[in-house]
Amino acid sequence: MGAPDHTVQLDAVSCQSGRLLCDTARRFLRKQGDMLARHLDSAKTRNDIEDVHQVRVACRRMRAGLAFFGDCFDDDKADRWRGQLKKALRRFGPARDCDVQIAFLKDVLSRLDSEQKPYKPGLARLLLRLNQQRDALQPKIIKAVQRLARERLLLNIHLETERLQYEADHAEQKFCGADFYQRAAERVGRCLQQVQDKLGSLADAEAVAEHHALRIAVKKLRYTLEVCDTGLRGQLKTLIKQLKQLQTLLGDMHDCDVWQTQIETFICQEKARTEAYFGHSRPMSRLMPGLRYLQTQRQQERARLFEAAVQMAEAMSAEGFWDAVASSIRPEALPPDTLTPSTESDADDNADNGH
């Protein structure tokens, strides 16, 4: 009896992995495209602040997906689409920041008791300026939505992913070199290294810029794992969930840092307005107690969040979390049926789009 032809077996696995790559590209990009389309028009009305948030989430995920699958498309289409999405993010980012801060200040004001009444003028004035700022940003949101519609971004991505899937299904050799697992391992490994290089910043509570860089690195790793998880039928969900918890802590820390800078900027700007109107800055004395109260509150919350982030990062390292991420993208580590492209419907894919 002759020896088994391992070359034929490896070719079959490689081709299967190539088809999985195409199937994952189609499913992931379509899911995020549907999510983006669902919230774009609503973002123009400003009825629900979650619309702007979900638009940003979908844009970031699509950019991550296009970076992962970019060379699957002809010419420089993926780079062009990522550029269009980046421009949209620049428009929606400041509006989302205002929405979050407005909601936060409303909550703070609603919780003030009778002894904290002196804080109200300063917080109310800051809320007024944020609302004015947000109103001024809304026309830019509308223009960004209209621009994406003119560029037919979502339609173009939809058509290209369908073409990619068709060619994968009907070509015998063209996609055999497109190894999903090798690609996934390389992308995840690169993002993981960036996180590990920056974890040391948690040794210094004052390393604000480095903590921000760590937050971005964790976010990129999480989005990359989400792209991979689409092709691996949920095998990475536990890792993604833990990573999201760390990202949330780092994100909340960054929000506190932004408040510190923003309050100081607001004091300078409001003082200039007051002097221009009254000829002196004495009315600012009514505003300062609330503004300093908010600064102190955010400083204390930042310290609490930092300790929580340090503890979580240490626990993740002790439990072998980063090693688990590094070894998660290997065919031999996954159930056999994961190697087969999914036959789930797009409706099933869109069952859980939220953050």
Residues 146-162: tens digit of each pLDDT: 999 999 999 999 898 88
Render pLDDT for 273-284 as a digit per residue (tens, 0 to 9): 999 999 998 999
187 and 145 co-located in one domain:
no
145 and 194 co-located in one domain:
no
Render pLDDT for 39-56 as a digit per residue (tens, 0 to 9): 998 999 888 999 999 999
Quick one: pLDDT at residue 104? 97
CA distance 263 to 291: 7
Quick one: pLDDT at residue 16? 54
Quick one: pLDDT at residue 27? 87
87 and 150 co-located in one domain:
yes
317 vs 1: which has the higher pLDDT: 317
Q: What angle do CA 253, 258, 259 make, to 5 degrees?
A: 100
Quick one: pLDDT at residue 163? 85
Q: At what angle do helices 120-151 and 153-170 cross, to 10 degrees?
A: 50
Decide: 102 and 67 in contact? Cβ < 8 Å: no
Number of compact structural domains in the chain: 2
197 and 277 co-located in one domain:
yes
Q: Which of 148, 132, 246 is nearest to 198 (CA)?
A: 246
- The dihedral sign for the CA sequence 266, 267, 268, 272: positive
194 and 168 co-located in one domain:
no
User: What distances in angstroms separate CA 176 from CA 12, 15, 173, 207, 351, one per listed residue?
Assistant: 8, 4, 5, 46, 31
**Structural domain of 228:** 179-335
Q: Which of 158, 178, 198 is the last residue of a domain?
A: 178
Ranges of beta strands (E only) in the chain are none
31 and 156 co-located in one domain:
yes
231 vs 145: which has the higher pLDDT: 145
47 and 163 co-located in one domain:
yes
Render pLDDT for 284-306 as a digit per residue (tens, 0 to 9): 999 999 999 999 999 999 999 99
Decide: 218 and 56 in contact? Cβ < 8 Å: no
User: Structure pTM?
Assistant: 0.84
- Mean residue pLDDT across the chain: 86
Q: What is the mean pLDDT of residues 173-185?
A: 66
Quick one: pLDDT at residue 18? 61
Question: Quick one: how far is CA 83 from the chain centroid?
Answer: 16
Q: Which two tokens stand for residue 93?
A: 């980012």
Render pLDDT for 24-40 as a digit per residue (tens, 0 to 9): 888 899 999 999 999 99
Q: Which of 147, 178, 209 is the last residue of a domain?
A: 178
Within a domain: residue 232? yes
